[in-house]
Amino acid sequence: MTERLVVIGGDAAGMSAASQARRLKGPEELEILVFERGRFTSYAACGIPYWIAGLIDERDELVARAPEVFREKQAIDVRTAHEVVSIDTDARTVAVDDLDAGTRSEHGYDQLLIATGATPLRPPVPGIDAEGVFGVQTLEHGQRVLDAMDERRPERAVVIGAGYIGIEMAEAMLLRGLEVHVVEMAAQPMSTLDPEIGAKVAEAMGRMGIHLHLGVAVEGIETGDDGWIRAVRTGEGTLDADIAVLGTGTRPFSDLAAEAGVPIGPSRGIVTDRRQRTPVEGVWAAGDCAETFHRVSRQPVSIALGTIANKQGRIAGLNLGGSYGGFPGVLGTAITKVCEVEIARTGLGEQAARDAGFEPVVATIDGLTRAHYYPDAKPITIRTIAERGTGRLLGAQLIGEEGAAKRIDTFATALWNEMAVEELLNVDLSYAPPFSPVWDPVLIAARRADSAVRSAG
Ligand SMILES: Cc1cc2nc3c(=O)[nH]c(=O)nc-3n(C[C@H](O)[C@H](O)[C@H](O)COP(=O)(O)OP(=O)(O)OC[C@H]3O[C@@H](n4cnc5c(N)ncnc54)[C@H](O)[C@@H]3O)c2cc1C
């Protein structure tokens, strides 16, 4: 008998799962029906800031696979502009609105995958829904920003929130020639970084001409007679603005699941086991909407990253296709840039390590990305967090220029394997002058961390 898999959400997690399940089971065994409320599938939200910046010409370049390709090549029935409005887990049905036709229909499922992603946090201030205030979560959002840039020729942008999306959007606006203000409630940009590295990010943004307002809350949006934004009111005064972008972070978009009685965890993500199954029979979840666990803190977390969503989607797809897959947890490894400055992190910061019950020992080094005599050797600062006594690596954060950021992957690999900094400093990493000094900055950082652990006793 043919089973039916219904997938809610047609991006990274949803389409990875659908494709993986299809590889394992043909259409005669498994019917796959995907509902996506937007117009696109498998799009790279990660590319939106660079598209808005003008570095990528065509929106379609951000689409890895269009709905018709899924239909024709993989027999996956993708229905765009279809929004799932409720789930009945007893009857095993979903209610779906066809957004073009304005009709509602009901569809049964044997297995259901919820892959509804994350939703941007909107500060609850007057005027936040005004015209000219944009999120950048989907390609439709990105298109709206670009249309506004063409039609209104804004000169001043205010980015609300200095998370990594806020920072990338500040760079985009700067590259488009706008005067850019970033308003951030915390005392530093990118609050998951330790203050020492956060301060360096702030300093770099200032050098680039981005006006950073730290420790400042947005209190409201003022609009002109046409309803379009004209200023952002903050605790520090009013900033003129022709356009505003939200970079205040996201939360798991788990509302649909919660309304259907699917358990939600402390991080607001949908509770899943290693195989991406929720506690409700026949219901699965993957991607930004799902909760997972942190491999170092052992705590439940929801971290909105494409890296995680794609992997979880694959695991769900393996299981839904009749094979076996287990998701092994996350480290929160992330990387970004603002103009020429690269920033990356993995694992726990100092305070997070303390909160998780570790006694952290912290060490920082300044180094170079290439041999000091080789042209274009760039600065890099690395901060390591290790456990007192055992020397186990708990986290690393870095900031630098070209060639710096991807070094975080070596730390992530060490962290994944629960290595001590003493082991890391002896790892046989590569060297030639165009790529690194003979002691790569990663090894120097591990050496410094090892000394700090020994001194801490
Ligand atoms: C601007 C930006 C930059 C980013 N940069 C990076 C980066 O550099 N690196 C990185 O790792 N990650 C990055 N991310 C995060 C990454 O894009 C997400 O983690 C990833 O897209 C999550 O995939 P997902 O499938 O879980 O959710 P989403 O990609 O959000 O997809 C969920 C889909 O579900 C649909 N949907 C929701 N509710 C319903 C419903 N009721 N009915 C039908 N459809 C529904 C939505 O329309 C959406 O298309 C970035 C995100 C943004 C917004």
Q: Is residue 410 part of a domain?
A: yes
Catalytic position from the list 24, 46, 128, 217: 46
Can you give the residue range of the structural domain that contains 369? 340-456
Q: State the CATH number of the domain containing residue 213.
A: 3.50.50.60
Tens of pLDDT, residues 362-381: 999 999 999 999 999 999 99
- Ligand 1 atom at minimal distance to the Cα of residue 313: 25
- Residues with a CB atom less than 6 Å from ligand 1: 8-14, 35-38, 45-46, 48-49, 83-84, 115-118, 136-138, 165, 253, 256, 287-288, 304-307, 309
Name the pLDDT band for 91 (thresholds 50, 70, 90). very high
Q: How much is the mean pLDDT over the chain?
A: 97
Residues 115 and 127 both lie in one domain: no
Average pLDDT over residues 134-143: 94
pLDDT for res 294: 98
The Cα 275–Cα 258 span in angstroms is 20
Query: What percent of the chain has pLDDT above 70?
Result: 100
Scored b (16 or more CB within 10 A) or e, 76-112 reads: bbbbbebbbeebebeebbbebbeeeeeeeeebebebb
Left, alpha or beta for 312 (phi > 0: left; psi -120 to 50: alpha)? alpha
Q: How far apart, in whole angstroms, are the C-alpha atoms of residue 300 and residue 292?
A: 6
Are residues 256 and 115 part of one domain? yes
Atom number of ligand 1 nearest to Cα 305: 19
pLDDT at 81 exceeding the cut of 90: yes
Is residue 333 assigned to a domain? no
How many domains, the chain? 3
Co-location of 402 and 384 in the same domain: yes
CA dist 349 → 168, 328, 445 (Å): 22, 21, 15
Q: Are residues 194 and 284 in the same domain?
A: no
Bridge partners (DSSP) listed for residue 330: 294
Could you tell me the pTM of the whole model? Answer: 0.96
Task: Report how far ligand 1's centroid is from the alpha carbon of 22 (Å).
Answer: 22
Same domain as 200, residue 87:
no
> Do 344 and 418 fall into the same domain?
yes
- Residues 231, 346 share a domain: no
Domain end call among 208, 231, 248: 248
Of the candidates 317, 314, 369, which has an alpha carbon nearest to the alpha carbon of residue 341?
369
Using CA positions, which residue lies closest to atom 53 of ligand 1? Answer: 137
Write down the pLDDT at residue 275: 98
- pLDDT (tens digit per residue) in 156-212: 999 999 999 999 999 999 999 999 999 999 999 999 999 999 999 999 999 999 999
238 shares its domain with 129:
yes
| Alpha carbons 259 and 275: distance in angstroms, whole number | 23
306: CA distance to ligand 1 center in Å? 7
Ligand 1 atom 7: residue of nearest CA: 46
- 205 close to 212: Cβ distance less than 8 angstroms: yes
Confirm whether 332 is domain-assigned. no
Please tell me whether residues 28 and 69 are part of one structural domain.
Answer: yes
Cβ neighbours of residue 220 closer than 8 Å, sequence gap 6 or more: 125, 126, 127, 232, 233
* Same-domain status, 77 and 142: no
Note whether residue 126 is domain-resident: yes
Q: Is residue 329 part of a domain?
A: no
At 199-230, the pLDDT tens digits run 999 999 999 999 999 999 999 999 999 999 99
**Distance between Cα 321 and ligand 1 center (Å):** 23
Give the mean model confidence (pLDDT) for residues 235-240: 96
- Sign for the CA dihedral angle at 48, 244, 39, 22 comes to positive
Q: Which of 267, 288, 320 is the last residue of a domain?
A: 320
Residue 373 falls within a domain, yes or no?
A: yes
> Can you give the pLDDT at residue 430?
98
* Same domain flag for 264 and 281: yes
16 and 103 part of one domain: yes
Strand order through the sheet with 82-88: 82-88, 93-98, 103-108
Is 46 marked active-site?
Answer: yes
Please indicate, yes or no, if residue 50 is contained in any of the structural domains. Answer: no
Q: How far is the CA of 288 from the centre of ligand 1 (A)?
A: 7
Distance from the alpha carbon of residue 440 to the mean position of ligand 1, in angstroms:
35
Question: Is 325 a domain residue?
Answer: no
Q: Write the residue with the smallest CA distance to atom 16 of ligand 1.
A: 306
> pLDDT by residue (tens digit) across 422-445?
999 999 999 999 999 999 999 999
pLDDT for the residue numbered 269 = 98
Examine the fold and report which residue of 205, 229, 248 is the final residue of a domain before the chain moves on.
248
- Residue 1 pLDDT more than 90? no
Q: What is the pLDDT of residues 263-320, one digit of tens each?
A: 999 999 999 999 999 999 999 999 999 999 999 999 999 999 999 999 999 999 999 9
